[in-house]
């Protein structure tokens, strides 16, 4: 039997056993969410096995994709005709047949198509309820008040069924459409379970066994412990309904969100690493090193002891040759430029300025002090060689120095 399994809102378990007396297991079952079927074969000499197997194969092929009672009923009717056809063609034995309880469940909707005395039960809020009505002689006798349910369990004709697949081409299943709730539990079983143990015992096992597979197995164990006079088959389906759908939806969203977060973090860290690398391999700055102007590649500072720059070279330009403002910056945070080449260009400028100042004659230095570019040039003019100027007017020289200094600072 093959059927493509769809993702549905249920968890389930199942087990079938030959029991303690029978030589063959003539029960067949389908557990292919959202479809679950139990068929109990009859006909003797293993013919019942053939009939129940034909039934499950035909139902698996013809069942609708979603719970639809009418369509499921039609699949069961097809199974009935297929068994009749097979018997007519000499497959199995004439008169072979089977019961059939077929259920489909999705979210909180349950549909059932049923023929014979295999049952569907629903455990709702801890209470077991038989959903299907047995098509059997004793069920008719109980309903007409001729015998009690207790008497039916030991009635000599308790195995006589009044409707089965394989006996009449016009046989139609009873159809049920039921709204179930999350937390409910569906049980399908052959009469090898329901004839061997009481409903109270079935209820107790279903209530106290959380795992559906274990529950299905425990039910079979109980039937065997009670004598196992018949083949016994159980299918237990937990209704997880919309809660399960919601859980899967949230799980999907969480996965997508986590993936996006990972991508975002990779982008942030990747971008930061790229920017840091770009900065440290392209940027440069000038700083003081042993009284000289030094060129560094990168940016000033460090993180956890990791420096963001390295020394490229210590130039021959002394900080004493620079304007005081520039020298102070180099002693402090450094003077940032775009590249090492720019740093070298700037150092060259300083070098030329310093050389230019050394070449300026003393007398011109005083005159030029009003427009001079550095305080040191003005100092040189006023202190070393402009003796005449200082002798003739020390006040003028001081004023010139002060002006020069202001000019240089500006």
Which of 166/334 has CB closer to Mg ion?
Answer: 166
Which of 108/191 has CB closer to Mg ion?
Answer: 191
Tokens 């403002």 sit on residue:
325
Q: What are phi and psi of 269, to 5 degrees?
A: -65, -35
Which of 90/156 has CB closer to Mg ion?
Answer: 156
Exposure string of 85-119, with b = 16+ CB inside 10 Å and e = fewer, is ebbeeeebbeebbbbbbbbbbbbbbbbbbbbbbbb
Which of 40/244 has CB closer to Mg ion?
Answer: 40
Which of 190/297 has CB closer to Mg ion?
Answer: 190
**Measured torsion, CA atoms of residues 335, 338, 344, 348, in degrees rounded to the nearest 10:** -70
Taking alpha carbons only, the member of 77, 191, 74 closest to residue 135 is: 191
Give SS3 for 340: helix
Q: How far is the CB of 19 from Mg ion (least distance, A)?
A: 9
Which of 119/185 has CB closer to Mg ion?
Answer: 119
Q: How far is the CB of 48 from Mg ion (least distance, A)?
A: 8
Q: How far is the CB of 188 from Mg ion (least distance, A)?
A: 13
User: What residues pair up with 295 in beta bridges, in sequence order?
Assistant: 286, 313
Q: How far is the CB of 98 from Mg ion (least distance, A)?
A: 9
Taking alpha carbons only, the member of 213, 278, 304 closest to residue 10 is: 213
Q: How far is the CB of 41 from Mg ion (least distance, A)?
A: 8
DSSP 164: -
Q: How far is the CB of 238 from Mg ion (least distance, A)?
A: 25
d(CA 296, CA 313): 7
Which of 137/312 has CB closer to Mg ion?
Answer: 137
User: What residues pair up with 351 in beta bridges, in sequence order?
Assistant: none
* Joined tokens for residue 65: 């994709």
Which of 41/400 has CB closer to Mg ion?
Answer: 41
Other beta carbons within 10 angstroms of residue 137's beta carbon come to 17
Q: How far is the CB of 104 from Mg ion (least distance, A)?
A: 23
* Joined tokens for residue 99: 């019961």
Report the run of H or E that residue 277 belongs to, with start and end: helix 241-282
* Joined tokens for residue 42: 């009859």
Q: How far is the CB of 22 from Mg ion (least distance, A)?
A: 9
Q: How far is the CB of 30 from Mg ion (least distance, A)?
A: 17
Tokens 């709702």 sit on residue:
124
Q: How far is the CB of 40 from Mg ion (least distance, A)?
A: 4
* Joined tokens for residue 338: 């775009």
Tokens 């002006």 sit on residue:
403
Which of 39/72 has CB closer to Mg ion?
Answer: 39
Say if CB 299 and CB 279 are below 8 A apart. Answer: yes
Which of 82/193 has CB closer to Mg ion?
Answer: 193
Say if CB 170 and CB 84 are below 8 A apart. Answer: no
Say if CB 6 and CB 34 are below 8 A apart. Answer: yes
Which of 159/280 has CB closer to Mg ion?
Answer: 159
Say if CB 378 and CB 367 are below 8 A apart. Answer: no
Q: How far is the CB of 225 from Mg ion (least distance, A)?
A: 17
Q: Which residues bind Mg ion (CB under 5 A)?
A: 40, 190-192, 230
Q: Is the dihedral of CA 178, 182, 188, 194 positive or negative?
A: negative
């Amino acid at each position: 039997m093959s059927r493509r399994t769809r993702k549905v809102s249920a968890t389930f378990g199942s087990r079938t056993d030959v029991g303690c007396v029978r030589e063959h297991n003539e029960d067949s079952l389908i557990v292919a969410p959202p479809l679950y079927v139990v068929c109990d074969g009859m006909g003797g000499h293993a013919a019942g096995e053939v009939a129940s197997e034909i039934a499950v194969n035909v139902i698996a092929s013809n069942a609708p994709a979603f719970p639809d009672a009418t369509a499921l009923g039609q699949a069961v009717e097809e199974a009935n005709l297929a068994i009749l056809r097979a018997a007519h063609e000499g497959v199995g034995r004439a008169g072979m047949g089977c019961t059939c309880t077929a259920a489909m469940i999705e979210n909180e909707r349950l549909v059932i198509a049923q023929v014979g005395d295999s049952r569907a039960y629903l455990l709702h809020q801890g209470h077991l309820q038989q959903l299907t009505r047995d098509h059997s002689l004793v069920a008719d006798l109980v309903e007409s008040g001729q015998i009690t349910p207790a008497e039916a369990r030991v009635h000599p004709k308790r195995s006589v069924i009044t409707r089965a697949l394989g006996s009449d081409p016009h046989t139609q299943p009873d159809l049920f459409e039921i709204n179930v709730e999350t937390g409910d539990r569906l049980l399908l079983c052959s009469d090898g379970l329901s004839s061997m143990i009481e409903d109270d015992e079935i209820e107790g096992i279903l209530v106290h066994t959380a795992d559906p597979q274990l529950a299905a197995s425990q039910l079979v164990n109980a039937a065997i412990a009670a004598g196992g006079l018949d083949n016994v088959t159980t299918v237990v389906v937990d209704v997880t309904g919309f809660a399960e759908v919601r859980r899967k939806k949230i799980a999907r969203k969480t996965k997508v969100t986590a993936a996006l977060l990972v991508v975002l973090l990779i982008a942030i860290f990747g971008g930061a690493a790229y920017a840091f690398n770009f900065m440290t391999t392209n940027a440069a700055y000038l700083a003081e090193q042993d009284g000289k102007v030094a060129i560094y590649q990168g940016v000033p500072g460090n993180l956890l002891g990791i420096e963001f720059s390295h020394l490229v070279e210590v130039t021959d330009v002394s900080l004493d040759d620079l304007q005081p403002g520039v020298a102070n910056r180099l002693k402090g945070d450094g003077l940032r430029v775009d590249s090492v080449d720019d740093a070298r260009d700037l150092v060259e400028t300083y070098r030329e300025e310093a050389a230019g100042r050394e070449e300026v004659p003393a007398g011109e230095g005083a005159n030029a002090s009003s427009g001079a570019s550095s305080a040191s040039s003005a100092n040189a003019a006023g202190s070393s060689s402009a003796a005449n100027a200082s002798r003739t007017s020390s006040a003028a020289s001081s004023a010139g120095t002060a002006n020069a200094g202001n000019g240089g600072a500006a």
